[in-house]
């Protein structure tokens, strides 16, 4: 995948400046403790301080599309709310140059009792538009939302998908200079998401600034010029989507050394990758039975078998040999299985398969098909099996299943099978039609008429 270039060298005018922002919340064990402290009863401090953001600084430049990624609770939504003025920082400064349109959480800025049309005018007025200006924009908004006659019904009757359609249609059609979106697109259907991302492309061409938070790493990779990585209120780094996604994969599994709590310790691309690699190479405490060393394990995976063999460990590594829950399309990756045997088995078969989230089997193979292992095993043996291949699946979420099977006197036996054991994310900035990419080589040339005519 071609790495995107950071545009900060080309663009000198910041649209958003965040300077050493801190946001602290007081956490109480009991509701009555909050009241006692507010009324001044008792001298004992009953709250704990929670740093939702701890000295975060970032510049977002005009015309950039910037992503903010991080685990749940890392402060992504908090920083967006501070930028838009919904929240005030405990300390620090935020400067915004340009008209902001924000789509944060469902319900923000909408009156549940009003119908869709009334809410369009309500939101437009709150953004500083006159009634005449909203009148001109209304046809475009309704066409983009495409919710039909529901626009005349109270929004409290809307599904979450209809709600986000209308909210995004308002946010994106009032000609903002800065568009801020927080995960809202994940609610809409795939067709609406495609329409929204097409609008993103139009905005980019018009030189608008886009900031969005998403757990969809493929969208982050495809649309962002630059990415900020947050973790537990601290800014870990900023850089290209590829570098930050790579670092985020390590954060997900606790294989990343945090920098000191100092905004001056921000890591650049090369430092992030080095820190991530060093962090992983130094780990020796990865448990085979809990966590599987980096992939998204399904604790409710369907598991069954005779018990004559057991898959004791399973995980995925990327093209650098680092355990991961996300694979970049076009790169090589390896599936690892460790199997313990409790009985004599003449010729065990080791297998894996990929399903999509709808449960459709996409692809898979086993050692018998690959003619890779046709030997017998005895009790106490332990085998480590690896499958290495190029990732050609489209970007998205997939489920991995594993199995150890074989034949005993012409009877097929399942010794241990794990269905939907791991969740793997495929990161892609080019999705073709269907389940996998045929990796076509395309040529276009002029046809020369008359050369072979008689």
Q: How far apart are CA 208 and CA 253, in angstroms?
A: 35
Contact 286, 299 (CB under 8 A): no
Say what the pLDDT of residue 85 is. Answer: 87
Q: How far apart are CA 335 and CA 312, in angstroms?
A: 14
Q: How far apart are CA 324 and CA 333, in angstroms?
A: 10
Residue 2 has pLDDT above 60, yes or no: no
Same domain, 203 and 319: no
Q: Give the strands of the sheet with 234-239, arranged side by side.
A: 100-103, 178-182, 209-213, 65-69, 226-231, 234-239
Q: Residues in the chain, how many?
A: 454
| pLDDT band (50, 70, 90) for residue 285 | very low
Q: Could you read off the pLDDT of 71-105 as tens digits, one per residue?
A: 888 999 899 999 988 899 999 999 999 888 877 76
Say what the pLDDT of residue 430 is. Answer: 85
Same domain, 336 and 195: no
Contact 275, 286 (CB under 8 A): no
- The CATH number given to whatever domain includes residue 373 is 2.70.50.60
Say what the pLDDT of residue 203 is. Answer: 84
Residue 283 has pLDDT above 50, yes or no: no
Same domain, 231 and 263: yes
Closest listed residue to residue 172, CA positions, set 205, 208, 136, 119: 208
Say what the pLDDT of residue 189 is. Answer: 67
Number of domains in the chain: 2
Same domain, 232 and 307: no
Residue 284 has pLDDT above 50, yes or no: no
Secondary structure (3-state) at 265: helix
Percent of the chain exceeding pLDDT 70 equals 81
| pLDDT band (50, 70, 90) for residue 387 | very high
**For 207, what's the count of Cα atoms within 13 Å in the CB-facing half-sphere?**
7
Q: Which of 20-34, 211-225, 288-302, 337-351 shows the highest mean pLDDT?
A: 337-351
Say what the pLDDT of residue 9 is. Answer: 43
- The CATH number given to whatever domain includes residue 84 is 3.40.50.300
Residue 14 has pLDDT above 80, yes or no: yes
Same domain, 404 and 355: yes
Same domain, 228 and 315: no
Tokens of 185: 């697109």
Closest listed residue to residue 340, CA positions, set 415, 400, 263, 276: 415
Q: Look up the pTM and report it.
A: 0.66
Extended strands (E) in 248-331: 296-297, 302-304, 309-317, 326-328
The answer as to whether 327 is a domain residue is yes
Q: How far apart are CA 342 and CA 351, in angstroms?
A: 19
Q: How far apart are CA 245 and CA 230, in angstroms?
A: 11
The answer as to whether 300 is a domain residue is yes
Rg (CA), the chain: 26
The answer as to whether 245 is a domain residue is yes
Q: How far apart are CA 353 and CA 396, in angstroms?
A: 16
Listed in sequence order, the DSSP H helices in 15-75 are 31-39
Same domain, 304 and 380: yes
Range of the domain at 333: 292-427
Same domain, 191 and 301: no
Helix count and strand count (H, E) for the chain: 9, 19
Domain boundary (246, 274, 302) is at 274
Q: Could you read off the pLDDT of 245-266 as tens digits, one per residue?
A: 878 877 876 656 555 444 444 5
Say what the pLDDT of residue 426 is. Answer: 93
Say what the pLDDT of residue 270 is. Answer: 46
Q: How far apart are CA 152 and CA 170, in angstroms?
A: 15
The answer as to whether 304 is a domain residue is yes
Q: How far apart are CA 159 and CA 161, in angstroms?
A: 5
Same domain, 202 and 333: no
Compare 229 and 288 and report the one with higher pLDDT. 229
Same domain, 344 and 248: no
Tokens of 39: 């009324």
- CA–chain centroid gap for 409, Å, is 48
Same domain, 187 and 256: yes
Compare 278 and 448 and report the one with higher pLDDT. 448
| pLDDT band (50, 70, 90) for residue 363 | very high
The answer as to whether 449 is a domain residue is no
Instruction: Indicate the average pLDDT of the chain.
Output: 81
Q: How far apart are CA 206 and CA 114, in angstroms?
A: 33
Residue 198's contacts (CB-CB under 8 Å, 6 or more residues apart) are none
Sole residue written with tokens 């690896």: 386
| pLDDT band (50, 70, 90) for residue 392 | very high
Reported as type and span, the H/E element at residue 270 is: helix 269-281
Same domain, 251 and 305: no
Q: How far apart are CA 244 and CA 236, in angstroms?
A: 9
Q: How far apart are CA 36 and CA 115, in angstroms?
A: 42
Q: How far apart are CA 101 and CA 180, in angstroms?
A: 6
Residue 1 has pLDDT above 50, yes or no: no
- How far CA 440 is from CA of 395, 432, 437, in Å, comes to 17, 10, 8
Residue 416 has pLDDT above 80, yes or no: yes
Q: Could you read off the pLDDT of 48-58 as tens digits, one per residue?
A: 788 899 999 99
The answer as to whether 77 is a domain residue is yes
Ranking 75-84, 124-133, 431-440 by mean pLDDT, the lowest is 124-133
Say what the pLDDT of residue 404 is. Answer: 96
Overall average pLDDT of the 407-423 stretch: 90
DSSP category for residue 394: P
């Amino acid at each position: 995948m071609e790495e995107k270039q950071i545009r900060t060298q080309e663009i000198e005018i910041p649209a958003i400046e965040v300077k050493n922002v801190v946001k602290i919340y007081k956490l109480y064990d009991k509701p009555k403790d909050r009241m006692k402290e507010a009324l001044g009863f008792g001298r004992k401090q009953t709250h704990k301080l929670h740093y939702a953001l701890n000295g975060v600084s970032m510049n977002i430049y005009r015309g950039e599309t910037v992503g903010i990624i991080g685990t749940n609770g890392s402060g992504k939504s908090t920083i967006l709310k501070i930028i838009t003025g919904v929240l005030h920082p405990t300390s620090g400064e935020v400067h915004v140059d340009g008209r902001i349109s924000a789509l944060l959480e469902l319900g923000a800025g909408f009156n549940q009792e009003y119908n869709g049309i009334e809410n369009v005018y309500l939101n437009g007025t709150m953004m500083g538009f006159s009634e005449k200006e909203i009148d001109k924009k209304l046809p475009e908004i309704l066409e983009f939302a495409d919710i039909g006659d529901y626009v005349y019904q109270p929004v409290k009757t809307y599904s979450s998908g209809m709600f986000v359609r209308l909210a995004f249609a308002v946010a994106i059609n009032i000609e903002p200079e800065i568009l801020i979106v927080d995960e809202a697109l994940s609610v809409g259907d795939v067709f609406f998401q495609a329409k929204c991302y097409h609008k993103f492309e139009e905005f980019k061409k018009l030189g608008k600034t886009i900031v969005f938070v998403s757990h969809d790493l493929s969208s982050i990779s495809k649309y962002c010029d630059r990415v900020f990585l947050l973790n537990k209120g601290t800014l870990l780094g900023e850089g290209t989507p590829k570098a930050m996604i790579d670092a985020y994969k390590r954060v997900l599994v606790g294989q990343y050394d945090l920098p000191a709590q100092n905004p001056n310790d921000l890591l650049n691309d090369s430092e992030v990758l080095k820190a991530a690699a060093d962090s992983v190479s130094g780990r020796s405490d990865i448990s085979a039975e809990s966590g599987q060393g980096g992939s998204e394990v399904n604790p409710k995976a369907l598991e069954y078998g005779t018990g004559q063999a057991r898959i004791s460990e399973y995980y995925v590594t990327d093209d650098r040999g680092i355990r991961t829950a996300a694979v970049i399309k076009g790169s090589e990756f390896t599936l690892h299985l460790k199997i313990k045997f409790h009985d004599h088995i003449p010729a065990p078969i080791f297998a894996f398969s990929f399903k999509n989230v709808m449960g459709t089997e996409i692809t898979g193979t086993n050692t018998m098909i690959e003619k890779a292992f046709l030997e017998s095993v005895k009790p106490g043996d332990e085998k480590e099996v690896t499958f290495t291949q190029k990732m050609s699946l489209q970007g998205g979420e997939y489920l991995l299943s594993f199995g150890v099977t074989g034949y005993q006197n012409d009877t097929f036996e399942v010794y241990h099978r794990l269905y939907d054991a791991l969740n793997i994310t495929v990161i892609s900035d080019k999705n073709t039609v269907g389940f996998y990419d045929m990796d076509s080589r395309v040529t276009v040339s002029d046809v020369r008429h008359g050369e072979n005519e008689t």
